[in-house]
A and B are shown apart, each in its own frame.
Chain A
Amino acid sequence: MTTALDHTPLQRRAALADPVQQLDRMLEIRHFEDRIKELFGQGLIHGTTHTCQGQEAVSIGLALAARTTDHVCCTYRGHGHALALGMTPHSVLGEITGRVTGTIGGVGGSMHLSDRSVGLMPTSAIVGAGIPIAAGAALTAQVLGQDHCAVALFGDGATNIGAFHEGLNLAAIWRLPVVFVCENNVYGEYSRFDTTTPVEDLAVRATSYGMPSEVVDGQVIGDVSAAIERALARARGGDGPTLIECKTYRYSGHSRADAATYRPAGELDTWLARDPIVLHRRSLIERGLLDDEAADRLAADVQARIESCIEETMASEPATVASMFRHVYATTTTTTTGS
């Protein structure tokens, strides 16, 4: 018997066409992130991590709108995007925990996830780096006459770094088939974005590059996916790039070390009242696609799935010494250190 755990990344991606599966995936991301936070807190995982609770609708909206042949550049806050785009919890958790079961054998860690089969380019730990890289992926499509597009996801903080401005400018003058998706989750690392950024809607920055832009509700899957679909259609039609700002919220701190004590009282509660999972669940029930009992059962199934994934991953082999010497150059024998 096959279970959800046996599905390939492409199967997992295709499954998202079903609105109930969208809820399943959002719950998977939420529970995964909650447990990651706990495991780090317990000292069971080494290093650092950046979780995305609260931003699940953006991940699902992206995965619905993009094709698996499109190129997606994401950030170090990437577990949710990776799971939404199709990566399995086993390959993501294996990577985060430095196990052989990780997507690249555990040598990358939490900030470096990728899966070419679903178009996820290696996520970068450098703020804004994916923006010009996505422009370059779009350049390939333009030069080779392919139908592919590129999508860059980045946070509000990235709109203050040079790579953002250089990447948007280049994409605009060359009319590249790329969509820039800013997840404005209100905080850039430990700083509220209005203390670092002189505009309220980051989307207005597109104006400087003669580029269309949209502000969307990042808590609603349909709003996010529709905006990205419109932008992708423009890009594929030769009309160049678009900047989309998704208004969302990061429930956790910047990284595992950050308790987010700087947040004004009540802010988190305001956003929790518009939790993307609650909103989507309510919508499914209103549309008659699910009842409360089935929704609860779904949540319990997802939790059990993640728990067994954690159990299996923690029992799996740690990354090998041989793996850290692989993939430095095309032929691993040609290294600068030689014998």
Chain B
Amino acid sequence: MKLRMRQAIARAIADEMRSDPTVIVMGEDIAAAEGPFKTSEGLLDEFGPLRVRDTPISEMGFCGAAVGAAATGLKPVVEIMFVEFLGVALDMVVTEAAKLRYLSGGSYTAPMVVRASVGAGLGFGSQHSQTLETWMYACPGLKLVVPSGAGSAYGLVRSAIRDPDPVIVLEPRVLYGEREETIVGDEGIIPLGVANLVQSGSDVTIVALGQTVGTAVAAAKGAGWTADVIDLRTLVPWDRERVCESVERTGRLVLVEESPYSGGWGTEIAAHIAGDCFHALRSPVVRFTCPDIPVPYPAHLEQRYLPSADDIRAGIDELIASGRRPRPWWEKEGYAS
């Protein structure tokens, strides 16, 4: 069925709540108001206030409560309205939830989900538009997924709730209202750690995540080359087999990241592929990212900030023609080196 991403998320949570009475949801304005982005529509009506809870503006408090609840028998799903708000609760996720299994020899675990909206494109400014996946990326004990539309949101949220470990779900805010054909029910569940080959080609492998999947598909449309476009879907643990297999065939790797250039998630993938698939590469690995600046507010600059389909298409043209890495646009235009 065709669903908006926000509806697919609410549906996924409801489906898990129906089959598992230990699943609860907590967050700011998620019960009576059904969520600032309407991702918990209908949950309070169906499941009642014991399991669907509005919290105070108190992320450290309710993320901590989620850890304690998860350790003792519940499966909490908490919503962080904007991922930046996780900054005041990071201890509970990175230092408590992620270490609970390790520090108890497996006798206490934290089967909880932290959902947060992320990303640029809606004019929320520098403090409400980051993706920040790197905050959670290098933290053994956590898993991390990023949907790219309604279908993957439904399938990943269901898997995240079922997972026995803490899972972070970063939801590109700009996609909440987008409609997509979505498989619901158990057939729609997407296992964690499995990437999706969105389309096949032979000249280049483009790996994307979240809202950059659409950008990558748009870049490949009408190009003079054909690409494997891989929607990574799970960032921790990422699907090495799928990416390696593709690069072995195409001989080129391009990463499209919605985050600053330095330290972005693509560096990990680039390093791994350069190490393990070096023999198959016929040109340098290229990363299309955002520049190393905060997210600007005005719509035209926000769009310039994000990797664009035109830049990616032209960059891959250049890569294939010259065999050299195209410089990022901000370098070519003299804004930064």
B241: min CB distance to chain A, Å: 9
Q: Does B240 contact A (CB under 8 A)?
A: yes
Among A71, A126, A139, which residue has the most Cβ atoms of chain B within 10 A? A139
* A327-B101, A330-B164 known; A133-B71 Cβ under 8 A: yes
* A122-B108, A338-B237 known; A163-B102 Cβ under 8 A: no
A338 with B240: CB separation less than 8 A: yes
* A140-B73, A143-B24, A330-B164 known; A170-B101 Cβ under 8 A: no
A140 with B69: CB separation less than 8 A: yes
Q: Which residues of A contact B263 (CB under 8 A)?
A: none
Per-residue 0/1 for A65-82: is the Cβ within 8 Å of any B Cβ (1 yes, 0 no)?
Answer: 000000101000000000
B104 with A167: CB separation less than 8 A: no
Selected interface stretch from A107-115, A191-199, A276-284: A107-115
Bound CA–CA A107/B63 (angstroms): 26
Per-residue 0/1 for B54-66: is the Cβ within 8 Å of any A Cβ (1 yes, 0 no)?
Answer: 0110101111111
Q: Does B161 contact A (CB under 8 A)?
A: no
Bound CA–CA A115/B22 (angstroms): 23
Q: Which residues of B contact A23 (CB under 8 A)?
A: none
Per-residue 0/1 for A158-199: is the Cβ within 8 Å of any B Cβ (1 yes, 0 no)?
Answer: 000011001101100110000000000000000000000000
* A122-B100, A144-B73 known; A327-B105 Cβ under 8 A: yes
* A104-B104, A329-B165, A338-B237 known; A169-B58 Cβ under 8 A: yes
Q: Does B13 contact A (CB under 8 A)?
A: no
A contact residues, total (Cβ < 8 Å): 49
* A71-B72, A166-B61, A336-B237 known; A124-B96 Cβ under 8 A: yes
* A137-B72, A144-B74 known; A129-B95 Cβ under 8 A: yes
Per-residue 0/1 for B99-120: is the Cβ within 8 Å of any A Cβ (1 yes, 0 no)?
Answer: 1111111111100000000000
B61 with A170: CB separation less than 8 A: yes
Determine the main DSSP class of B at the interface with A: mixed
A85: min CB distance to chain B, Å: 14
Bound CA–CA A142/B48 (angstroms): 14
Determine the main DSSP class of A at the interface with B: mixed
Q: Does A157 contact B (CB under 8 A)?
A: no
Q: Which residues of B contact A103 (CB under 8 A)?
A: 105
A136 with B105: CB separation less than 8 A: no
Q: Which residues of B contact A163 (CB under 8 A)?
A: 60-61, 64, 91
B53: min CB distance to chain A, Å: 8
B50 with A143: CB separation less than 8 A: yes
Per-residue 0/1 for A295-337: is the Cβ within 8 Å of any B Cβ (1 yes, 0 no)?
Answer: 0000000000000000000000000000000111110001110
Chain B contacts with A in 155-183, Cβ cutoff 8 A: 163-165
A328 with B105: CB separation less than 8 A: no
Q: Does A121 contact B (CB under 8 A)?
A: yes
B74 with A140: CB separation less than 8 A: yes
Residues on A close to B: CB < 8 A? 71, 73, 103-105, 107-108, 112, 114-116, 121-122, 124, 126, 129, 131-144, 148, 150, 162-163, 166-167, 169-170, 173-174, 326-330, 334-336, 338
11 CB < 8 A contacts A-B: A114-B105, A122-B99, A131-B64, A132-B65, A132-B68, A144-B74, A170-B55, A170-B61, A170-B65, A328-B140, A336-B238
